[in-house]
Structure 1
Amino acid sequence: MNINKKNQSNYNIKKNIFEEKVIQINRITKVVKGGRRFRFSALVVVGDKKGKVGFATGKAQEILDAIRKALERAKKKLVQISLSGSTIPHEVIGKFGASKTLLKPAYKGTGIIAGGKAARTVLELVGVKDILTKSFGSRTSINVIRAIMQGLKSLKTPKDIERIREISFNSRIKKE
């Protein structure tokens, strides 16, 4: 009997390797014949600080349900980002809607220079420690996050470029 209980407890242990942060909670009002109906939307970012990150929104009549839905969706939409140590490999501009975000690599010890909670949180959860950012245009949280994600997805390390072009930078340097 003890063996079964012991085995069951091992199966129930679930390690959460992702860090979760709620960026924004909005109250949405719908005016109907009988009055107002209130709902909530939550914007959540999930990451492992090793290059994987995802974000999503969830909507429900209760705040906790909205957050739970957003977390489930964000974990399904995780994306692997190419990093170069504690920063990004090269400068990139991410665009989404009316938002534009400039991401620049920075020297070690610079930290995350980002204006706004949304940008800083996404970059922290990706695992970037040194970066410079600047947001242009619309600065709404969801648009800034989508612009940053679009920029991060387009990053390529030298190894990625070698694989895509089927060449080696080391052999190319030696030939010249």
Structure 2
Amino acid sequence: FSALVVVGDKEGKVGLGFGKAREVITSIHKGNEDARRKMVSVSLKGATLPHEVFSIYDGARVLLRPASPGTGIIAGKTVRAVLESAGVRDVLSKSLGSNNPTNVAKAALQGLRQLRRREDVMSARDKK
């Protein structure tokens, strides 16, 4: 059996793990450990994203757009799990191409990694 696991603290940290084993429980446990090891920080702007982002992983393409407060998470099942774990509460998303859950989740996580807040970009430019 194999398990794709998403973990997050709902405050800007999220991880994606994959576990394989002969028993379902063991594969979930391995996936959970893998996801915790691979956790990354995500730049958020309140409850939404700082800007629009488009990411591609293999055949899966994911578009993530910031939304006004109260919109909620408008996303497919896989992308919703990643966004909820990261702590995003207002976002619009569209999944294109492949609907393979592993590739869609990796594309969503890759998109979240690309996010940069305005303050972060400005401070990085001042240092140069």
TM-score, L = length of structure 2: 0.97
Find runs of 4+ consecutive structure 1 residues off by over 6 angstroms: none
**1:61 aligned residue:** 22
**1:121 aligned residue:** 81
Among 147, 160, 166, the residue aligned to 2:107? 147
Question: What is the alpha-carbon root mean square deviation over aligned residues?
Answer: 0.8
**1:90 aligned residue:** 51
Q: Which has the larger radius of gyration?
A: 1
Percent pairwise identity: 51
**Structure-1 separation of matches of 2:42 and 2:13:** 6
1:22-171 correspondence runs (5 A): 40-115=1-76, 117-166=77-126
Secondary structure (helix, strand or coil) at the match of 2:61 reads strand
**1:15 aligned residue:** none
What per-residue deviation string (whole Å, max 9, x for no partner) do you get for residues 89-124 of structure 1?
Answer: 000001101111000000000000002x21111100
What is the number of residues matched between the two proteins?
A: 127
Secondary structure (helix, strand or coil) at the match of 2:115 reads coil
TM-score, L = length of structure 1: 0.71
Unmatched 5+ stretches in structure 1: 1-39, 168-176
Matched AA of 2:25: L
- 1:162 deviates by 1.0
Matched AA of 2:80: R
Matched AA of 1:142: T
Bigger relative contact order (CA 8 A; separation at least 6): 2
**Structure-1 separation of matches of 2:111 and 2:16:** 14
**Structure-2 separation of matches of 1:127 and 1:46:** 11
